[in-house]
């Protein structure tokens, strides 16, 4: 890793972006700083601190819940707005992922900026339909699902917006880990809208495959228009292992991960029907 020569305290978004533009690949924005301490691009010699840019907030807006990029997992978990959103799944898991010491430091901007394949927050936000608000001289927004496919180099992640139309849906996360503080061998997140006892729309996301977070619209479509019944989810559990691209690494074999994909859908059924399988 390269040596850091300058730690720059930006006073606002405009100031941070101007500094980053001046230095190009020699600069990196700081969220909680955890990943930047562990590993960073060898070219980076200046860190741009965003803590004085007013980005630590969770607020309800007319279009949804906006989460500033400097907000830590601990503060996400304590937000009453997030505890109400999509059954509170994001708030619940933000208070359980990793260890409480690091949850006090990990920021939502840093999580998205790094987006490890096994990360739990990014796939859950993708399932919740999150948009990312960027600043690169002007503000613009895009779906987080699109942003993680094509990151915008140099742009500051200002915030994340959880759209209000998803507030009443059911958010769900299942992460398979060996211990509570372990990283996921397989991650599954979903958001399901229902109309009475029928599924009206669904987002299904797998991560830690060991590949990155990926949406599976073809699986989601198999749920739409179907009853919330054992038959519906049993069919999906049979089909999903053939659709989700999994592989082997040091943590698990491809075959083992296929079993986990099946298990993830069984847990989704339990969550949606309240019946233990």
Ligand X SMILES: Cc1cc2nc3c(=O)[nH]c(=O)nc-3n(C[C@H](O)[C@H](O)[C@H](O)COP(=O)(O)OP(=O)(O)OC[C@H]3O[C@@H](n4cnc5c(N)ncnc54)[C@H](O)[C@@H]3O)c2cc1C
Residues interacting with ligand X, by CB under 6 A?
A: 28-36, 50, 69, 97-98, 102, 105-107, 109-111, 113-114, 116, 119-121, 156-157, 183
Question: Where does residue 217 rank: exposed (0-12), middle (13-18), buried (19+ CB within 10 A)?
Answer: exposed
For the CB of residue 36, give the shortest distance to ligand X in the complex, in Å: 4
Cβ proximity to ligand X: between 208 and 241 the closer is 208
Measured N-to-C along each axis, helices 230-243 and 254-273 cross at an angle, to the nearest 10 degrees, of: 160
For the CB of residue 245, give the shortest distance to ligand X in the complex, in Å: 20
**C-alpha to C-alpha distance for 134 and 78, rounded to whole angstroms:** 25
Cβ proximity to ligand X: between 111 and 199 the closer is 111
Cβ proximity to ligand X: between 102 and 243 the closer is 102
For the CB of residue 159, give the shortest distance to ligand X in the complex, in Å: 9
Nearest CA among 117, 43, 44 for reference residue 29: 44
Residue 164: half-sphere exposure toward Cβ, Cα within 13 Å:
6
CA distances from 100 to 75, 94, 178 (A): 11, 10, 18
Non-local (6+) Cβ contacts of 206 within 8 A are 123, 186, 187, 188, 213, 214, 216, 244, 246, 261, 264
Nearest CA among 211, 169, 204, 165 for reference residue 186: 211
Q: For residue 39, what is the DSSP state?
A: -
For the CB of residue 30, give the shortest distance to ligand X in the complex, in Å: 5
**Are 43 and 27 within 8 A, CB to CB?**
no
Cβ proximity to ligand X: between 69 and 220 the closer is 69
For the CB of residue 232, give the shortest distance to ligand X in the complex, in Å: 29
Cβ proximity to ligand X: between 2 and 168 the closer is 2
Cβ proximity to ligand X: between 147 and 216 the closer is 147
**C-alpha to C-alpha distance for 26 and 60, rounded to whole angstroms:** 36
Cβ proximity to ligand X: between 30 and 199 the closer is 30
For the CB of residue 208, give the shortest distance to ligand X in the complex, in Å: 9
What burial letters (b/e) apply to 110-122, b meaning 16+ CB within 10 Å?
Answer: bbbbbbebbbbbb
For the CB of residue 265, give the shortest distance to ligand X in the complex, in Å: 21
């Amino acid at each position: 890793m390269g040596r850091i020569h300058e730690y720059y305290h930006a006073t606002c978004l405009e100031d941070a972006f101007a500094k980053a533009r001046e230095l190009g690949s020699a600069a990196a924005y700081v969220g909680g700083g955890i990943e930047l301490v562990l590993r960073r691009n060898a070219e980076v010699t200046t860190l741009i601190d965003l803590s004085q840019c007013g980005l630590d907030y969770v607020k309800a807006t007319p279009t949804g819940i906006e989460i500033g990029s400097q907000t830590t997992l601990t503060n996400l978990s304590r937000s009453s707005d997030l505890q109400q959103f999509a059954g509170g799944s994001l708030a619940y898991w933000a208070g359980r992922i990793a260890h409480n010491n690091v949850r006090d430091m990990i920021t939502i901007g840093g999580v998205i900026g790094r987006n490890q394949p096994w990360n739990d927050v990014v796939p859950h936000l993708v399932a919740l339909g999150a948009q990312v608000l960027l600043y690169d001289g002007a503000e613009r927004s895009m779906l987080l699902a699109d942003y993680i496919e094509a990151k915008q180099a140099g742009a500051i992640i200002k915030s994340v917006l959880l759209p209000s139309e998803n507030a009443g849906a059911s958010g769900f996360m299942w992460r398979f880990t060996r211990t509570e503080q372990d990283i996921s061998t397989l991650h599954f997140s979903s958001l399901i809208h229902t109309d009475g006892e029928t599924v009206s729309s669904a987002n299904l996301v797998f991560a830690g495959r060991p590949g990155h977070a990926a949406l599976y619209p073809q699986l989601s479509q198999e749920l739409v228009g179907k009853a919330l019944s054992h038959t519906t989810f049993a069919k999906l559990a049979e089909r999903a292992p053939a659709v989700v691209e999994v592989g082997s690494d040091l943590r698990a074999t491809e075959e083992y991960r296929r079993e986990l994909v099946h298990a993830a859908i069984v847990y989704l059924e339990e969550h949606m029907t309240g019946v233990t399988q």
